[in-house]
Structure 1
Amino acid sequence: MEVFVKHSLLGAVSAALVVSFAAVEFAIAAENDPSVQLGPRPFYLVDLMEEGEMKEALKQCAAGPFFKTDFSIGHRGAPMQFPEHTVESYTAAARMGAGILECDVTFTKDRELVCRHSQCDLHTTTNILATDLANKCSVPFSAADTATGKKAEAKCCTSDITLAEFRTLKGKMDAANADATTVEEYLDGTAGWRTDLYASTGTLMTHKESIDLFKSLGAKFTPELKTPSVEMPFEGGYTQQDYAQQLIDEYRQAGVPASDVYAQSFNLEDVLYWIANDPDFGEQAVYLDDRYNIDSFDHTDPATWDQSMQALADQDVKIIAPPMWMLVAVEDGKIVPSVYAKEAKAAGLDIITWTLERSGTLTDGGGWYYQTVAEVTDSSGDTYAKLHVLAQDVGVLGVFTDWPATVTYYANCMGL
C-alpha cells in the first residue's frame, strides 16, 4: 500500500519553524502547480483562527507553493457549492488540489454503475421530479399539508430507471423543502450556507465515466459501494458479490493500477470480499465504520474498541474510516485524540476520516461532525484547529472534504 507522508510537529512552540522548513522543502521538490487554485476560503479561515503559533505558522504559507495532495479527498467532488457527483463538482475539486476523488457507486435498473450518494436520492440531487421520469419514481411527489402536519415526500431511485434515462437528468444541490406544496418548491431547498450559483449545469456521470475523468484530472480514486436500497439479489439474479466485483472490474478494464484505488464500503462483507477475491484491490479497501450508530457502545471506554479493532486487523483490513467526531475529544479545553483513535492505531489500522466543511458555519458548535468537541467550537477558524489534531496527533492518511481547497492549503503548508 502506498505510504502517505506524515510530518509530526514537535509541540506548539516549534510549529512555525517546522512549517517553514516543510514549505521550503516542498518549494524545492515540487513546482507551484498553476492548475491548483485555492481561492480565498483557506485564507479566510486562517484569519478567523485564534491568535497563536498555529495561526502564524499557517499564515507563513500564504504564498504557496500549492499543488495536488492525496491528503485532500474530494467528497462527492466539491459539494459545498457544486452539485455532488457531477463533472463540474469533480473538476472543481481537482482544481482545488484534491489528489483523490470519490464516486459513490450504485446501479440503475439495467445494472449499470453510476455515481450517486444513495440509490434513492434522485428526488433531492437531480431534476427528476420536474421531468417525465417522475412517474417512474418509487414514491411519487406528494405535497405538504399544513392542516395535518404532513410533510412533502418523494422517493426516486436509480434502480427505477435505465442508464439511458439516467443520462437525461441534471444534477442539483442535494436538498429538498419538506414544507413544499409544489414540485418547484420542493426542489428549492438549498441551505443558506451553500449556493445554487453553480447548479445550472450539473452533468451526471456513470462510474466508468468518472474513472476516465479522474484519470484526465490526474487524481486517484475512492469509489464507495453504496448499500442497495432494493432487495438483493436484484430482480433475482444480481447478487451483492456481483455488484462488488463489477466495481473492481471497471477499474481493471480501464487499466487503473490497484495502488491508485481506495474502494470503500460501510458493509464489512464487501471489504472482506475484495480482500479475499481481489487482494490487489483489497489491500487498500476502506471499511467505513458506522458503529457510531450503536447506542449501547460507550465510545470513551477502551474496552469498547480494543478487541474489535484487533479483529478487523486480524481479517487483513488495513484502513478504517469513521466520521471526524469519533476521532477527537476534549481534555482541559483542548482537542485531543479520542479513545477510538488510540485503539485503532494500537491495532495497526490506518485511518481516513469524513467530512470537513460539511457543517456550515461553526459559530454554534459545528453540528453532527463536531459533536465531541462542540464545547470548544465557536468559530469557522476552528476548522483548522480540528484538522491539525486529526493530521498531527491522530495521524490520519487523508480527510474527505466538501471544499478541498481548505485541506489542500493545510496539507501543502505542513508537507503532507
Structure 2
Amino acid sequence: MRMLRRILGLGALLVAPTLFADVQIGPRPYYLIDDMEEGWLKSTLDSCRDMPMEKSDFSIGHRGAALQFPEHTRESYVAAARMGAGIIECDVTFTKDRQLVCRHSQCDLHTTTDILAHPELAAKCTQPFSPAEFDENGNRTKAASAVCCTSDITLNEFKSLCGKMDASNPDALTVDEYMGGTANYRTDLYATCGTVMTHRESIALISSLGAKFTPELKEPSVTMPFQGDYTQQAYAQQMIDEYKSLGVRPERVFAQSFNLDDVLFWIAADPAFGRQAVYLDGRDSDASFDPSKPATWSPSMQQLADRGVKYIAPPTWMLVTLDGDGKIVPSVYAGQAKSAGLGIITWTLERSGLLKDGGGYYYQSITDAIDNDGDMYELLDVLTWDVGIDGIFSDWPATVTYYANCMGL
C-alpha cells in the first residue's frame, strides 16, 4: 500500500511542481541525508543529488525561511521562494490604524523587530522595556521583559522598523542586550534590517515569486471590537478582501486560523475562499485534549467535516506515534482525520532545535525514535506516505523541496 501511494501520488493540494528557474537547494538537504542511518530511504534520497529541482506546493515556507532569515520579512519570503516553496505564509495582524501587516503575533514587535531601539516608538509600547533583576548571589529574580504590539503604532511607524531574528535575552540589563538571544541553531548573519511587510505588499511579492498564499489570521491581543467598532468578522473579511482587490484567484489562497469561528465565517460568508480554508488545530494547549482519545476532541473530525471544513492542520507530533517496536506510525488522530475526509497540512519542520537533543515540541510523541537531524527525513517520509499529508510548513523549505522532487510529488 505504501509503495502504491508513492506511485499514485497524494491529495488535491499536491499539484505537479511548476518549473522555477531560480530554485536553489543549498547544502542542508545533503547534510541531513548524510546524517541518516543506512537504509532504503537514505539510498533513495541520495540518488537524487544531481537531479534538477522545481518548486512544489508540498513545501510551505513557514513565515518565509525563518531558520536563518528574520521572519515575515521580504528577505525571508524571497529566500523561501528560491528554495522552492510553492506556498508562503504571511501571519496577519493589524496596526493602530487598522492596516494589515505580516507578524506572527500582534504583540511580538519587541522580539521580532528593533522597535525598542527607537525611543519614540518604544515609548508607545504596551509594556516598556524592564531590565532583569538579580539577587546578591547573582541569581535572576526577574526576567527582562517588554510587550510591543502592532496595535500600539500606525502603519507608517511599523514600516520604519527593521525585522530581526525572533529572540530576546531574559538576563538583559539594557535594550541592546535584550534584543539579542538568538537560538544557537539559528543565526544573525542575515538579520541586517529585514524589510517588514504589509499584507498587501506580501501578496504582491509572493505573487511575483510565482508562489501561492497561506495567510493566517492571528488572534488579536487587544479586546475586540477594537476601537469600539472593528469586529473580528470585519478583520477576517478585510484579509480576504485584500486578495480580491489585487485580483488573486481564490484557489491560490489557503486562509488559516486557530479560531474555528474564523474558518466557519469564511466558509459561510465567502465560499470561494472558504472552501479551502485551513483550521489550525491548537487544542493540545487544552489540558483535557488527548490526541489518542477521540472522546476528548470537541468538535470531532466528522463534525468539522460536516460543517464544511476541508483542511485541518495540527502540529507534526499529533499525527504520529510509536508502535510496539519503536517504529514511527500514524496516530489515532491522523486516522480519524483521514476517515472524515479531511485534508491534512502540518507544522513545523526544522523549528524546535536539534534532534539529537530530542527535537523539542514538534517531536514529543516520537522522542525515543530520533537521535540525529537525519531522522527529520524519516518523520517526513511517514507523514507523507503513511499519514497522507497534503503539505508541510518548514522553517527551511529547501529540505522539503528536495524530498518532494525526489519522491515525485
The TM-score normalised by the length of structure 2 is: 0.94
Displacement of 1:364 after TM fit? 1.8
Q: 2:394 aligns with which of 391, 397, 401?
A: 401
RMSD, matched Cα:
1.7
Structure 2 residue 14 is matched with structure 1 residue 9: no
* Counterpart in the other structure of 1:158: 150
| Cα deviation digits, residues 144-164 of structure 1 (max 9, x gap) | 001260110000000000001
Shift of 1:9: 2.5
**CA deviation after TM superposition for structure 1 residue 304, in Å:** 3.6
Query: Cα 1:43–1:255, aligned 2, differ >3 Å: closer, same or farther?
Result: same
The residue type paired with residue 82 of structure 1 is: F
How far apart, CA to CA, are the structure 2 residues paired with 1:202 and 1:191? 18
| Residue in 1 that maps onto 2:36 | 49
Instruction: Identify the match of residue 413 of structure 1 among 398, 406, 409.
Output: 406
- One-letter identity of the residue aligned with 1:63: D
Look up the match of 1:295. Answer: 287
- Equivalent of residue 68 in structure 1, options 17, 42, 55: 55
| Identity across matched positions, percent | 67
Deviation at 1:129, TM superposition (A): 0.1
Paired residues of 2:17 and 2:57 also in contact (CA < 8 A): no
Q: 1:30, CA displacement in angstroms?
A: 7.4
Distance 1:175 1:202 in 2: 14
- Secondary structure at the aligned position of 1:320 is classed as strand
Please tell me whether residue 140 in structure 1 is matched to residue 133 in structure 2: no
Map Cα deviations across residues 235-276 of structure 1 (whole Å, 9 max, x no partner).
101000000000000000000000000000000000000000
1:294: Cα distance to partner?
A: 1.8
Asked if structure 1 preserves the Cα contact closer than 8 Å seen for 2:318 and 2:333, the reply is: yes
Displacement, 1:307? 6.7
SS of the residue 2:200 aligns to: helix
Question: Are the aligned partners of 2:17 and 2:56 in contact in 1 as well (CA < 8 Å)?
Answer: no
Amino acid of the residue matched to residue 186 of structure 2? R
Judge conservation of contact 1:305–1:340 (CA < 8 Å) in 2: no
Distance in 2, matches of 1:396 and 1:347, equals 14
* From 78, 93, 104, the counterpart of 2:80: 93
Instruction: Quote the residue 1:323 is aligned against.
Output: 315
The correspondence for 1:115, drawn from 85, 102, 110, is 102
Alignment partner of 1:343 is 2:302: no
Residue identity in the other structure for 1:162: T
SS at match of 2:134: coil
| Deviation of the 1:289 alpha carbon | 0.6
Deviation at 1:384, TM superposition (A): 0.1
Task: Work out the CA distance in 1 between the residues paired with 2:341 and 2:318.
Answer: 17
Q: 4+ residue runs of structure 1 moved beyond 3 angstroms?
A: 29-34, 302-307
Unaligned runs of 5+ in 1: 1-6, 23-28
Alpha-carbon spacing, 1:234–1:30, altered in 2? closer, same or farther (3 Å):
closer
What letter is aligned with 1:138? T
Distance in 2 between the 1:292 and 1:354 partners?
14
**1:106 corresponds to which letter in structure 2?**
T
Give the match's secondary structure for 1:149: strand
Query: 1:30, 1:236 → 2: CA distance?
Result: 46
How many angstroms does 1:373 deviate by?
A: 0.3
Contact 1:31/1:65 (<8 A) preserved: no
Structure 2 letter corresponding to 1:78: A
Q: Is the counterpart of residue 195 in structure 1 residue 187 in structure 2?
A: yes
Return the letter of the residue paired with 2:351: R
Is 1:392 aligned to residue 377 of structure 2?
no
